[in-house]
A and B are shown apart, each in its own frame.
Chain A
Amino acid sequence: MSTTLPVPTAPGPDRGGATGDPSLDARWYAAAVRSELSDLPSDVVEELAGGLEADLADLAAESSTPLAQRLGPPSGYAAELRSAAGLAPRVAGGARGSGLWARATEGVREDVEHAVTHLRAQRWWPGAVERAVLLRPAWWALRGALLAWLPLQVLFGGVLTLGAFLTVLAAVAASVEVGRRRTVVPWKRSLVVAGNVLAVLVAPFALLSLAGPQTVYVDSGYASSDPAASTGVWVDGRQVTNLYPYDAQGRPLTGVQLLDDYGQPVATTTGEARDWTTFEGPSPLVPVVDAEGAVRWNAYPLQVRADGGGAPVMPPLPQPTLAPLVGAAAPVATATPTASPTASPTASAAPTETLAPAPTASVLAG
């Protein structure tokens, strides 16, 4: 053996250049070769592939052509390495077992390998890999959060407590640590792969649960799944508690009684607390009583009783007046402060000919 210790050759000038990181390409290729040798005892693998990273890095630094293009697929490289080292070629299925499953997956494995080799031969590939590697720690963190989110969601319905928050933080830290220490132990690697796959599968669900706040869920639940609670007037998925009619001239009306196309009164509420989702306790809305003594919840706007009781008052109008309608008929509702016997000039179209006059019916001064 020569006693001179050669000076290690400096890496090429284009190392880590615009076309990507050659040492990264070398690491990938070396790892792929090692995995092709995985059926051999680990000390033999080390003997065969020890120093391979450095040798490949040198080769990679010489030119920007990806290694897979210059050396061929790692499987071929590994086979050549084996045969030159005087070892038997890899038995098909080898350490993976020779069962039906191994034979079935062998073809898929080869296809994937060819696809990857083809991808790696692309000019943009090293750059893409470089960027992906930069993003890797972000994935580790996200993976931890996703894997913690799953059991929290299943066990506690995803309620964000301090404990849940700390659990997620701990999982993120653990996941990053696992990512930092790249393990070579096969069963640990399988575990990491399984974790990655699970995190990818969980991701869309976690995203959906973040995007859809719970209130939307509650609203639709009330509207559809509980018919008893879906009485009232709903507009745009929200319950309406009061209505404000305006006449053709755009002036606010009071005491306007509304019926639907089944002839039923249109009531936003019937005074029960259940209808009144915005407030706790009894509804502050007050119905009117018609001349026959019937309580009418469908005369709008409904008046509001202040907190301490007392006389009900008109609620503030959403708009003082509206623009008059084009081609509106002569003012009809202004006739008398006490309502005329007919509620509408087009009485023929109304579901009921006339309604009993309500005592408070009047037209507010516009």
Chain B
Amino acid sequence: MDATQLLKGVLDAAVLAVVEDDDGYGYDVVRRLRSAGLEDVGDASVYGTLRRLYAAGALSSYVVPSEEGPHRKYYGINARGRELLETQRKSWRAFSETVDHLLAPEGAPR
């Protein structure tokens, strides 16, 4: 099964979860997702998702000037984002339970 296709559906939730406790800039978020096990996540997909969540009002953003090199754009979760994350957590749980049940070998006790 193509994991990247699965990933697309949950990337919003995953990104929100990763910045829930600590703000992060683009590549920082990518690293956190990868170290959490989502190794195939694409850089651009994460950046695009951050931008979209920001545009949707689920993230706030601020720029940190850097003494050497370009400025960093940090993203942090806001109240709207927390709401969204909570909704997505619930729907993911329901969805994954359903799919687990569906995919479980026949006759196996669940």
Contact = CB atoms under 8 A, between A and B. Distances in A.
B42 A85 contact: no
Interface string A8-44: 1101000000000001000100000000000000000
B33 interface: no
A48 B69 contact: no
Given A6-B22, A8-B66, A59-B27, A51 B72 contact: yes
A51 B22 contact: no
B56 to A, nearest CB: 9
B22 A84 contact: no
Interface stretch (B43-51, B86-94, B98-106): B43-51
Contacts of B26: 51-52, 54-55
B27 A55 contact: yes
B64 A80 contact: no
Contacts of B43: 55, 59, 71, 77
A79 B4 CA distance: 15
Contacts of B68: 11
B52 A86 contact: yes
Contacts of A8: 25, 64, 66, 72
A1 B76 contact: yes
A246 B60 CA distance: 101
A361 interface: no
The secondary structure that dominates the B interface is mixed
Interface residues of A, number: 32
A48 B44 CA distance: 10
Interface in A181-208: none
Given A1-B60, A6-B74, A8-B66, A51 B42 contact: no
Nearest to A47: B51
Interface in B70-97: 70-74, 76-78
A82 B42 CA distance: 13
Interface string B26-39: 11101000000000
Contacts of A48: 47-48, 51
Which of A23, A47, A78, A82 has the most chain B CB atoms closer than 10 A to its own CB? A47
Interface of A: 1-2, 4-6, 8-9, 11, 23, 27, 47-48, 50-59, 71, 77-78, 80-86
The 8 closest A-B pairs by CB, nearest first: A84-B48, A51-B73, A80-B44, A53-B70, A1-B76, A85-B48, A55-B26, A55-B27
Given A54-B27, A55-B47, A84-B45, 8 more contacts: A1-B23, A6-B64, A6-B74, A51-B25, A51-B72, A82-B48, A84-B11, A85-B47
5 contacts: A4-B23, A54-B26, A55-B27, A57-B69, A80-B42
